[in-house]
């Protein structure tokens, strides 16, 4: 971390820092990895087959919620649930979206580590608000 | 821990560009008022041997009690000592000023994150998080 300089000459106004943040965001938003994530997300949302597969899986899972909590689901239902889950996760748009998300997260984690190291505070942890998942 | 994702050489160049941009942004953040104040409060704390001693003792005792808890036998004496240290920490101006300054700096980081996230349309900080814990 930089040493604090005497006097306020080196203090950057908030507006300047926020402007720098916007420039940084623009740079990140223009990278092929971010664009691929956005496009994959959009295509997944527009993919009716993937959305139906998701809905079918969610509906089945919700219907078995109480039994799942008690670990009392029948073999038949368990297999059906597994089949619906597999169907969802094998949709091309889902696979692409998951992959794009993994790639983007790994990219952003590196960036976050750099930010944290340079500012001397954990960026992600500092941005959490309230509770463990805030 | 994050998954290992293989990247191409083009992506490595792009990563380096973004890491440099992150460093530039960090330099600007470090020159903001909340961060300069945090750096100053942190420096004062590290120069205050009494305050640092309190924090070290507290952390050591916390570890000791955690081990006792795991073993199923917590010492009442240690608990009282921990409470005593907690009170002393709460009454120590240098520690409290550093705590407050760190919270102000974190609050400023949240504003920076909001600005970035608004542009991206997704919470940037959550993308940078190396998970672990409940989320």
The residue of chain B nearest to residue A127, with distances taken between CA atoms, is B110
Across all residues in chain B, what is the average pLDDT? Answer: 92
Tokens coding B9: 């050489």
Give me the number of domains chain B comprises: 1
Distances (CA, A) of A119 to A29, A111, B54, B80: 22, 12, 26, 37
Record: contact A112-B133, CB cut-off 8 A: no
Q: Would you say residue B86 lies in a domain?
A: yes
Separation of alpha carbons B40 and B102, rounded Å: 10
In a domain, B134, yes or no: no
Rounded Cα–Cα distance for residues A102 and B103 (Å): 31
- Full-model pTM: 0.82
Give me the tens of pLDDT residue by residue for chain A, a chain 134 residues long.
444 444 456 799 999 999 999 999 999 999 999 999 999 999 999 999 999 999 999 999 999 999 999 989 999 999 999 999 999 999 999 999 999 999 999 999 999 999 999 999 999 999 986 544 43
d(CA B115, CA B121): 10
CB contacts < 8 A (A, B): 168
Q: What is the pLDDT of residue A5?
A: 45
What is the C-alpha separation between B67 and A19, in angstroms, rounded?
48
Q: And the tokens for B34?
A: 């909340």
Residue A37 CB partners (closer than 8 Å, separation 6+): A100, A101, A103, A104
What is the model's pLDDT at position A132? 46
Indicate if the pLDDT at residue B133 is higher than 80.
no
The reply to whether B19 falls in a domain is no
Interface contact A17-B19, CB threshold 8 A:
no
d(CA B129, CA B2) in angstroms, rounded, equals 9
Q: What is the pLDDT of residues B13-44, one digit of tens each?
A: 899 999 999 999 999 999 999 999 999 999 99
pLDDT at B109 over 90: yes
CATH of the domain at B45: 1.20.1500
Geometric angle at alpha carbon A103, from A28 and A91, rounded to 5°: 125
DSSP β-bridge partners for residue A12: B32
Contact call for residues A88 and A94 (beta carbons, < 8 A): yes
Contact state of A119 with B102 under an 8 Å Cβ cutoff: no
Can you give the residue range of the structural domain that contains B116? 34-121
Is-contact B29 B112, C-beta < 8 A? yes
User: Strand, coil or helix: what is B104?
Assistant: helix
Q: SS3 string of chain A?
A: CCCCCCCCCCCECHHHHHHHHHHHHHHHHCCHHHHHHHHHHHHHHHCHHHHHHHHHHHHHHHHCHHHHHCCCCCHHHHHHHHHHHHHHHCCHHHHHHHHHHHHHHHHHHHHHHHHHHHHCCCHHHHHCCCCCCC
d(CA A29, CA A88): 28
ipTM, 2 dp: 0.82
What pLDDT is attached to residue B100? 97
Residues B108, A14: C-beta atoms closer than 8 Å = yes
Instruction: Give the gap in angstroms from C-alpha B33 to the nearest C-alpha of chain A.
Output: 6
3-state secondary structure (DSSP) of residue B27: helix
Residue pair B16/A107 in contact by the 8 Å Cβ criterion: no
């Amino acid at each position: 971390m930089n040493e604090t300089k005497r006097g306020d000459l080196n203090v950057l106004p908030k507006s300047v820092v926020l402007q720098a943040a916007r420039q940084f965001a623009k740079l990140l938003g223009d990278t092929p990895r971010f664009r691929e994530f956005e496009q994959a997300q959009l295509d997944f949302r527009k993919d009716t087959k993937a959305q139906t597969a998701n809905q079918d899986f969610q509906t089945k899972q919700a219907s078995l919620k109480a039994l799942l909590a008690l670990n009392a689901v029948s073999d038949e239902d368990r297999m059906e649930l597994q089949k619906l889950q597999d169907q969802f996760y094998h949709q091309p748009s889902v696979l692409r979206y998951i992959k794009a998300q993994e790639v983007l997260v790994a990219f952003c984690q590196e960036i976050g580590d750099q930010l944290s190291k340079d500012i001397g505070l954990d960026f992600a942890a500092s941005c959490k608000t309230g509770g463990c998942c805030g | 821990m994050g998954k290992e994702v293989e990247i191409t050489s083009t992506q490595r160049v792009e990563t380096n560009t973004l890491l440099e941009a992150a460093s530039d942004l960090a330099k600007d953040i470090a020159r903001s008022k909340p961060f300069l104040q945090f750096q100053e409060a942190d420096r004062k704390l590290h120069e205050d041997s009494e305050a640092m001693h309190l924090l070290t003792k507290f952390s050591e005792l916390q570890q000791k009690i955690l081990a006792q808890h795991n073993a199923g036998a917590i010492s009442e004496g240690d608990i009282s000592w921990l409470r005593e240290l907690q009170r002393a920490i709460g009454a120590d101006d240098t520690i409290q000023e550093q705590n407050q300054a760190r919270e102000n700096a974190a609050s400023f980081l949240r504003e920076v994150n909001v600005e970035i996230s608004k542009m991206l349309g997704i919470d940037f900080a959550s993308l940078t998080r190396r998970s672990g814990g409940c989320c």
